[in-house]
Amino acid sequence: MEGVFVPISMFLGAFAMVFGIRYLSNKEKMAMIERGIDPRLNRAAVPRPYLSLKFGLLMVGIGLGLLVALFTVRGVFGGDLTHGEESQAVAIYFGFVGIFGGLGLITSFLIEKKAITTEYRA
């Protein structure tokens, strides 16, 4: 009996989700029209000039993090890993990926901030 209820409830849930999204989107557009705002103007069309810089620095940071983690694991564990050391090595990899990816995003923020402040000074 449970085999019948699961697909039916999944279908009804998906239908309710799509209906709710469309209903709320329509209500939002109607409220925009009432206030005199053109609903066809898309807020996502705002240019993002430094987006590629941000993702580029993030990827460089992740790559550097993996490289530093590789050298750290080989230096600390000597290349031969037992089962307990293997889980520690994985933690080192994820830690360095997070650290260096974050450093890449912070670097991107500082570059953008410097560019914006020099743009307004001119």
Query: Mean per-residue pLDDT for 13-24?
Result: 95
Q: Is the pTM higher than 0.75?
A: no
Query: Mean per-residue pLDDT for 102-115?
Result: 86
Lowest mean pLDDT among 3-7, 23-27, 94-98, 116-120: 116-120
Query: Mean per-residue pLDDT for 1-20?
Result: 89
Q: How far is CA 17 from CA 8, 13, 23, 26, 62, in A?
A: 14, 6, 10, 14, 36
Cβ-based neighbour number of residue 24 at 10 Å: 10
Instruction: Give 25: exposed, middle or buried? Use CB within 10 Å, 0-12, 13-18, 19+.
Output: exposed
Verify that 76 and 102 share a domain, yes or no.
yes
Query: Mean per-residue pLDDT for 24-42?
Result: 86
Judge whether residue 19 has pLDDT over 90: yes
Q: Residue 71 has which token pair?
A: 């050298």
Domain span at residue 61 reads 47-121
Verify that 6 and 30 share a domain, yes or no.
yes
Question: How many domains are there within the chain?
Answer: 2
pLDDT in tens, 45-88: 566 777 878 888 888 888 888 888 888 877 877 766 676 777 77
Verify that 40 and 62 share a domain, yes or no.
no
Q: What is the 3-state secondary structure (H, E, C) of 4-53?
A: HHHHHHHHHHHHHHHHHHHHHHHHHHHHHHHCCCCCCCCHHHCCCCCHHH
- State the chain's mean pLDDT as an integer: 82
**H or E element: which one contains 1?**
none
Verify that 27 and 74 share a domain, yes or no.
no
Verify that 51 and 104 share a domain, yes or no.
yes
